[in-house]
Chains A and B, each alone.
Chain A
Amino acid sequence: MNPFKLIIKELLYRKVSSAVIFITAIIACGVPVAIYTLSKASENETRKIMREQGLNLYIFPKGTNLIDFYSINNTPSFPENYVDVLAESKTFDAVRHLTGILQVKFPDWKDPNGSSQQIILVGYKDEAMQRYLPQQETMGFDVVKGSVQVGALLSRNIPEGAPFTIIGKDGQQHSFKIAKRLEEGRGLIDQGVAFNLEDLQSILGMDGRINKIEALGCVCKDGRIKNARGQVQAVFPDLEVTELSSIADARENQRLMMNKYGAFIIPFVVIGCLLITGLLFYQNINARRFEIGLLKAMGNSTGSILFMILAKAFIIGLAGSILGFFAGSMVAEYFGKEIFLFTAMSIKPIWMVFWVSIIIFPFLWMLGSWIPALIASRMDAAKILSEEY
C-alpha cells in the first residue's frame, strides 16, 4: 500500500492528536512569521520616522570646518558624480540612501511683501540607486524638478497658491510651484526651501556641484562611523564622514531591540514546538506499537518504518508551515496596524518568508520526530506481538 495513503488515513483517524501536532506546527511557523513581518514593519516604521528626522551620516570634503558646516556657511563643494561613483562601487555596503545635497545660506531673499530675510536653500539630488545591494524604500526629500517645498516659517509670508520666487546668480527671477508647505519643527529648513538639486545648481550657478552627501550608516559590529569612513575614503580619500549619533543611536537601538527580541523569541518558540512535536510523535508511535510490530512482521524494513514516521513529520511540517505562514501574516497585519501608524497599510505577507518556511519547517519537523522515528524503527516486533492487545 502507498505509504502516503497510510499516513493520511492515520492522521485523519487520530484526529485529536493530529490536530494538536498540526497546531504546534502552525504556532511554530506562525510566531516567527508574525515576528519577522512585524520586525520588517518596525524597520519601515523606523525608516519613515527617521525620514522625518533626516539621515544620520554626513559626507563632505576633508578639511571642512565643522562649525561652518553645521552653520551652513560657505563650505567647499565637490562634484555631484561622487555620489554615483560611491553607489556604483560593489564593495560599498556600509552606507545606504546616498543623497547628494547642496545647501547654502541665501542672505537676501525678498518675500512677496518685499521684506528681505536670510533663508536656507537646500537642493536634493534623487537618492542614488545602489544596484549591488538589496533595494529599499527611498528616504529623505523627493523634490520634483520645477517645484519646491517651503519651510513652515517661510511659508507664512507666501500666500496660498502663489509661487516661490528667487533671484538667481544670473540676476534673473526664478519661479517655482510650491509642492508642499512643510510642518514646523524640522530645524533649519523651517526657515528655508528644499529644491531639486538641478534647480538649485542653476540658481546658484554651481552646475554639477554639491557640498555634502547625507546617508544612513550601517548597523555594523565594528562601529558605524569607522566602517562608513573606511569605505568612503577607500573610494574618495578627499572626503570626510561624520554622523549625528542621536539619530543613528535611536535608529540602531530600535532595530537591535527588534532583532534581539526576534533572536530570543523565534528560537524559543521553534525549539519549544519541536520538543512538543517530539513528545507527541513519541506518544503516537507508542499508541501505534501494534501497527508497527505488524508492519515489521509483514516484512516492512526498518527503513520503511523510519520513512513512514519521517514522511508524516514532513507532511505536518509542510502543512503547518503553509497555514502558519498565513496565520502569522494575518496576526502581524492585524496587530501591526495598531502598532505601526505610518506603515499600517503596507504590512503584507512577505513571500520570501513563505518559500523559506516551506523549505525549512518540513525538515525541522523531520528533525523533531527523528528520535521517535528511530525508536519506532527499532521496536521489537516479537515482543510487541506477544503482548496482550
Chain B
Amino acid sequence: MLELQNITKIYRKGSKSFTALKSINLKIDKGDFCTVLGPSGAGKSTLLHLIGGLIRPDSGSITYNNRDIYQMSGQELDNYRRKHLGFMFQQFYLMPYLTVLDNIKLAISNENNKSGIIDYFLQKCNLTELIHKYPSELSVGEKQRTAFIRAIISNPAILLADEPTGNLDPANSKILLSLILDFNKNGGTVLLVSHDPDTLKFSNKRITLNTGNLVAAV
C-alpha cells in the first residue's frame, strides 16, 4: 500500500544543514496500525509530513498504491491528501470561528451525503450535544475528538496522527485511542506518532527512529 524507499530528508538553513531522515526504507500495508516512536528530533513528524505529501524528500521515493506521490501533479497530490489521508495533530488545529459541526464539515466536499455519517461519529464520540459549540467552549478531549472526526469523516485510507494524545489526560487518551482503533478495525491504516506506551498495545507495527535513522521496524 505505502512504501518508502531510501528516503532522505535534509533541512537547510543558510550554510547549516540538518539531516532529519537518512535512507529510510519502510513498507506499510493496508490495515496496519503503526506506532512511530523515538525521542524529540528523531524525525517522526518529518516522516508523517513526507507520507502526507506536505514536504518533498531530498532523495528516495514514496509510493502509494504503486504510484510515487512525488511524481504526482499538484492537483493529484491535493486529491491524494483530500481523499486518501486524514491528519490529526497534537494541537488539534480547529478553526476557532467554526462550530464543532462546521469544523467537521470542513473536511468534506459534499455535505448532503454525509449528514448520517457525521451524526454517527458525533454520537460515537459523545459530541452530539456540542455540535453548535465553538472550540473555545470545548475541553481538550472534546477538541481532539472533533479533530478526529474531521480527520476520518471523508473515509481516508490512512490516518496520520502526530502525537494526538500529547495534550490529553489519561482518560481522554484512552477514549481517543479506542476511536482510532475502531477506525483501524474497520480497515483504516493508522500511522501514529506517540510517546504514549498505551498505543503500543494496539499497534501491529512499531517504527523506531533515532536522529533520523530507522532503528527498528517490527
Residues of A at the B interface (CB closer than 8 Å) are: 1, 5-6, 9-10, 12-14, 290-291, 293-302, 380-382, 385-386, 388-389
Contacts and interface: CB of A to CB of B under 8 A. Distances in A.
Main secondary structure of the interface of B (DSSP, over half): mixed
A301 B109 CA distance: 13
Main secondary structure of the interface of A (DSSP, over half): helix
A291 B54 contact: no
Contacts of B97: 9-10, 12-14
Contacts of B45: 386
B75 A298 contact: no
A298 B55 CA distance: 14
Given A293-B93, A382-B54, A1 B79 contact: no
A293 to B, nearest CB: 7
Contact of A297 (B54, B79, B83): B54
B59 to A, nearest CB: 17
Interface string B93-119: 101111000100111100100000000
A333 B95 CA distance: 44
Nearest to B111: A1
A13 B111 contact: no
B190 to A, nearest CB: 17
A211 B79 CA distance: 82
Nearest to B106: A1
Interface of B: 45, 49, 52, 54-55, 74-75, 78-83, 85, 87, 89, 91, 93, 95-98, 102, 105-108, 111, 162
Nearest to B95: A291
Given A1-B105, A385-B87, A385-B93, 19 more contacts: A1-B108, A9-B97, A10-B97, A13-B96, A13-B97, A291-B93, A294-B93, A294-B95, A297-B52, A297-B54, A298-B81, A298-B106, A299-B81, A299-B82, A380-B55, A382-B55, A386-B45, A386-B49, A389-B91
B80 A299 contact: yes
Contacts of A13: 96-97
Contacts of B106: 1, 6, 295, 298
A127 B89 CA distance: 78
Please name the 6 residue pairs, one residue from A and one from B, whose CB atoms are nearest each other, closest first: A299-B82, A13-B97, A299-B81, A389-B91, A382-B54, A382-B49
Contacts of A389: 91, 93
